[in-house]
Amino acid sequence: MLRKIFIKQQFQFKLKISTLSDYRVSNKSLTSLASPKMSVLAAMMELVLNNLTMALVFLVVLILLLRYLQPSPYSLPPMPAWNIPYLGHIRFLMDAKTMGEKMYLKASKELKSSYIAVKFGKQYVVMPHKFEDLKEAFTSDQFIYHGENIIGGITINSGLFHDGQRWKAHRRFALHALRDLGLGKSRIEGKIQLESQKLVKLIASLNGEPTETIIILNTAVSNIICTMVFGHRFEYEDTLFKRLLQILNENTNKHMRPVFLSKFLPFLKYLPGDLTHAKRLKQNVDEIKTQILEPEIKRHIEKYDPDNIDDFIDAFIQEIKKLKDTDEEIYFNDEELMWNIEDLFFAGTDTTSTTLRWLLLCMIRYPDVQDKVRAEILDAIGPDRPPTMQDKKLLSYTQAVICEVQRMHTLTPLGSIHYSSDQPTKWKGYTLPPNTALSPNVYAIHHDEDHWEQPYQFNPNRFIGPDGKFQKDDHLVTFSVGKRSCLGESLARMETFLFFVAIMQNFHVKKPKNDPIPTLEGKLGILIGPYPHRVCFEKI
């Protein structure tokens, strides 16, 4: 009996071995012999072995999803919907005509919060929509950093966009140097008056023929920066000067915005081609360096006289020599000088010339305002005497028009971006992640219905007080506020006033007879400027 049982078990064992052997030969699935659990396991093993790529993709997606769903140790202001994983609120960047300022304002109203948070890629951005929140943030030490600076796809830490001690050293130097060179004083006023008269002669030479205003206004404004930086102006027909203006115009209107977007969406830099315009921007920057800045710096070094400091380059060379063998020596060198100069040209040329273009466009669109401005100018200073800054107190309505144009047509609707430190930051009861950007919606502040009466109507009289005199309004934040406010604010105000008054004093501005009425919609770039249009200047 035992022998029969043993033989039966041995036969069953051999049968199983034989079956397994047959399986290996015939490549049949193990699942037909295994338990249900073993069958599932075997199937998964086969899936992994046969679909390794799919498994890896699944694993990566799972890890990313788990990371995305992981609770954050930070808290943020209200956020709009459609925060897409790893892309964030990319829909706000898809507007081809604006910087998204109107969409942010709409989101702020829907969320019933004067400040909101959005996310682009990994970057969190907090957006104040009220003047009080902007002032609180920018006058504190919480948002005084500039963050990673990208020029032409290259991360740099140079010029006036530093952080920390380097930034403090450069801003302190620039303020002192520009002040000593006459910024805000009669010395620089005289240079602007000279340039404004040359601009008037250039416009008069057109004999009322239609012209685009970009080049002629950029020419005049850039020459003021050239005078302060290089110690000399250029003739308007100078080939090198015309190339400088062309590059500055290309960078502002074509290249800077795509590069700016790559700051928030870094993966764009790695896509095929030059989608972010980084290569073209870098080529332009390098050309300015090699063709203009390096020769100018070399000339200044060769003729340097410590007793005769005429311009910004002289002052910087003096600072390099002064700080030699000190702790701040590393902050001042030839490379830093070039970045400082490029920063001054970028900040000091297109902003003022674009403001002037908006002013002239509004004079075409509001001819009654133009007539009133000219009447005030001719009544106060006459047709012949060049305007001075002393005339401002006599030209209240003209000042009001300038301010209203700056309010209605905000050049930088999302303001100047500041960053928190590399540590978590407490702000309004929230705990913000390190390096959070703070970008004020200046458009919203300039159109705040709680402050401005009928904010979407053009009305210069909102800047006229009960006594009929010009009345300043702090809610007009054209030049930002706080420690990162515009370095050249006084220069820009002086240029805008003197150039505009000189043009209105001498010319009637109108559109060409057969041209369409130019639109008041802005053209998207790193600044919001008018769309190209032609202007006729009729001599008075």
- State the pLDDT at residue 33: 44
CA dist 44 and 31 (Å) reads 11
Which CATH homologous superfamily contains domain 163-409+467-539? Answer: Cytochrome P450 (1.10.630.10)
For the chain, state the CA radius of gyration: 32
Distance separating alpha carbons of residues 497 and 389, to the nearest angstrom: 8
pLDDT tens by residue, 420-432: 988 999 999 999 9
Confidence at residue 22, expressed as pLDDT on a 0 to 100 scale: 45
pLDDT digits (tens, 9 = 90+) for 351-391: 999 999 999 999 999 999 999 999 999 999 999 999 999 99
**Above 70 in pLDDT, residue 161?**
no
What is residue 461's predicted lDDT score, i.e. its pLDDT?
Answer: 98
**What confidence tier does 327 reach under pLDDT thresholds 50, 70, 90?**
confident
Answer yes or no: is pLDDT of 18 > 70: no
The lowest-confidence range among 30-34, 84-88, 349-353 is 30-34
- pLDDT grade, residue 454 (50/70/90)? very high
pLDDT of residue 49: 58
What pLDDT score does 418 carry?
86
The answer to whether residue 154 scores a pLDDT higher than 80 is no
For residue 536, say whether it is annotated as part of any ligand binding site.
Answer: no
Q: What pLDDT shows up at residue 318? A: 94
163, burial (CB in 10 Å: exposed 0-12, middle 13-18, buried 19+): middle
125 and 438 in contact (C-beta within 8 Å)? yes
Within 382-488, where are the H helices? 396-408, 442-446
Residue 164 has pLDDT above 50, yes or no: yes
Reduced to 3 states (helix: H, G, I; strand: E, B; else coil), residue 96 is coil
Q: Which residue has the tokens 């490379």?
A: 335
SS3 state of residue 38:
helix
- The average confidence (pLDDT) of the chain is 85
Least confident of 30-39, 111-120, 472-481: 30-39
pLDDT exceeds 70 at position 40 = no
For the residues 238-254, what does the mean pLDDT come to? Answer: 88
More confident residue, 289 or 503: 503
Range 385-401 average pLDDT: 97
Domain boundaries, the chain: 163-409+467-539
pLDDT on residue 181: 81
Beta bridge partners of 427: 430
Please tell me the predicted confidence (pLDDT) of residue 501: 99
Torsions phi, psi for 326 (to 5 deg): -115, 175
